[in-house]
């Protein structure tokens, strides 16, 4: 929790007056939202773009002004968490199922800032199961094709024991690779399968990684 607090506070320092700010999804982003809400209360003028219904609700509660993504053609900065990150600035994302919108906003942003705890900073990606968003139609066929890439696949379920549905009306499958040797190659292979919407590999997208440590320090890596 301390790590999340530290990285959340640091991340909002990158947000400047007048910026359009992409708001990721997750518990670390919740801390960012709280800090940003305080700054807005103190007079900072920004507009946020939410990457999930969850973040949208949280931002509105904190009185962070939001702008409809359909009304803008650029985003100045995106702040988001990750499930794994490595020294090539590659990420695995999607534990909360928001990977598609997060990737769309991250790739449209001038500056993509990632906030993580040190346990998520790994040498090789893949211990965390890779989330992949797929259309519900013929989902078993899609899973079989993804499995041919060398992983075990599980369909993500919700608490009520029905498939988890993303904000885009799709399913999420979690792909257990254990080690991902070439994230860029794998990402291309997965996205080439019909039925796949997108996968949680964010290859070479992050510009800044703010890493929180258990000893209360933070490390910042700039590309």
Residue ranges that bind ligand 5RP, judged by CB under 6 A: 24-28, 80-83, 93-99, 102
Is residue 67 within 8 Å of residue 49, measured between CB atoms? Answer: yes
Shortest Å, Cβ 94 to ligand 5RP: 5
Residues of the chain by 3-state class (helix, strand, coil), percent to 5: 30, 30, 40
Closest to 110 measured CA to CA, from 71, 65, 66, 73 = 73
- Whichever of 144 and 204 has its CB closer to ligand 5RP, that residue is 204
Which tokens belong to 221? Answer: 């890596």
Shortest Å, Cβ 47 to ligand 5RP: 21
Shortest Å, Cβ 214 to ligand 5RP: 15
Which tokens belong to 18? Answer: 């007048």
- Whichever of 73 and 84 has its CB closer to ligand 5RP, that residue is 84
Measure the CA–CA gap between 168 and 54, rounded to whole angstroms. Answer: 13
Measure the CA–CA gap between 138 and 9, rounded to whole angstroms. Answer: 44
Radius of gyration of the chain (CA): 17
- Whichever of 141 and 157 has its CB closer to ligand 5RP, that residue is 157
State which residue has the least CB distance to ligand 5RP.
26
Measure the CA–CA gap between 131 and 6, rounded to whole angstroms. Answer: 27
- Whichever of 17 and 209 has its CB closer to ligand 5RP, that residue is 209
Shortest Å, Cβ 198 to ligand 5RP: 12
Give catalytic status of residue 147 as yes or no.
Answer: no
Among the options 16, 102, 147, 159, which is catalytic?
102
Active site residues: 102
């Amino acid at each position: 929790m301390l790590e999340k607090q530290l990285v959340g506070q640091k991340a909002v320092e990158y947000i400047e007056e007048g910026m359009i700010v992409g708001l990721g999804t997750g518990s670390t982003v919740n801390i960012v939202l709280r800090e940003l809400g305080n700054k807005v209360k103190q007079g900072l003028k920004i507009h946020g773009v939410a990457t999930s219904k969850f973040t949208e609700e949280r931002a509105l509660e904190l009185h962070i002004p939001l702008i409809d993504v359909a009304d803008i053609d650029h985003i100045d900065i995106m702040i988001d968490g990750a499930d794994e990150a490595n020294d090539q600035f590659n990420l695995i994302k999607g534990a909360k199922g928001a990977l598609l919108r997060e990737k769309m906003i991250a790739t449209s942003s001038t500056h993509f800032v990632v906030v993580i705890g040190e346990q998520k900073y790994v040498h090789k990606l893949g211990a965390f199961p890779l989330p992949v968003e797929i259309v519900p139609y013929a989902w078993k066929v899609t899973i079989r094709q993804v499995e041919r890439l060398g992983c075990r696949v599980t369909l993500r379920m919700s608490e009520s024991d029905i498939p988890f549905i993303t904000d885009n009306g799709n399913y999420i499958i979690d792909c257990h690779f254990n080690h991902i040797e070439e994230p860029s190659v794998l990402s291309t292979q997965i996205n080439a399968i019909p039925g796949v919407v997108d996968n949680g590999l964010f290859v070479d997208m992050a510009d800044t990684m703010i890493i929180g440590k258990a000893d209360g320090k933070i490390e910042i890596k700039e590309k």
